[in-house]
Amino acid sequence: LTAPPPLPAQVDSPRSPLLYLVLQLYFPGVSAQSFLHSFTLASGAFNLQVATPGGKLIDFVDVNESNMRWIQDFRMKSYANPAKLESIDGARYHALLIPNCPGAMTDLANSGYLAKILQHFSNENKPICAVGHGVAALCCATNEDKSWVFQDYSLTGPSLYELIRQPNFASLSIIVEDFVKDSGATFSASKPDAVHIVLDRHLV
């Protein structure tokens, strides 16, 4: 196994645009590997701001030998303390990234605070990237007429088969594949356990 890249000493550069990483809190947490890749890839081009509902600490899952040291080092950094999602002003940020968060179907998919941020990003054509189960977070963004903000998009995400294997499947408040199709958007799923990425339509 190759070692992950080192953490930056800081994520503050006046020349870099702001990127906002939004994370969920509840079971089954945030994928450590997805967060590692998202954070290290984005930190080279952006100032990063991590946010969670209530500003609570991130609960990482799937921690293994290859990413454990990186996660431990991350927790020691000042920027590891998340901002409160409820206090985020979307106008301050240039891009939004949602890593693979299996628990996004529990809280972010119904977040009114995130919905306002997503509506702003969509209206301003700012880049949005959601990875894996993080796609569920996009489901909260509905217009006043109940139509979905992303109804004209094409999304890729985990299949129903993958969701069925989740221990909390019976209690899920939303099935992303069904929601996307019912809302008029296009949904596709790759092979089980593959990496799923959805990008803002003007990036592809």
Q: What pTM was computed for the model?
A: 0.80
Establish whether the linkage from the previous residue to 28 is cis, with ω within 30° of 0. Answer: yes
Positions of the chain with pLDDT lower than 50, given as ranges = 1-3, 9-15, 200-204
pLDDT attached to residue 203: 38
Counting Cα atoms < 13 Å in the Cβ hemisphere of 136 gives 27
Q: What is the DSSP letter of 11?
A: -
Architecture of the domain delimited by 30-187: 3-Layer(aba) Sandwich (3.40)
The CB density around residue 11, as the number of other CB atoms within 10 Å, is 20
- The pLDDT of residue 26: 57
pLDDT at position 19 is 73
Predicted local confidence at residue 149, as pLDDT: 93
Q: Which of 120, 114, 130, 55 is nearest to 94 (CA)?
A: 120
- How many residues are listed for the chain in this entry? 204
Three-class SS state of 71: helix
* pLDDT at residue 2, rounded to an integer: 45
d(CA 145, CA 195): 33
Report the amino acid identity of residue 197.
Answer: I
Give the residue ranges of DSSP H helices in the chain: 32-43, 68-75, 112-123, 160-164, 176-182
Q: Identify the pLDDT of residue 53.
A: 86
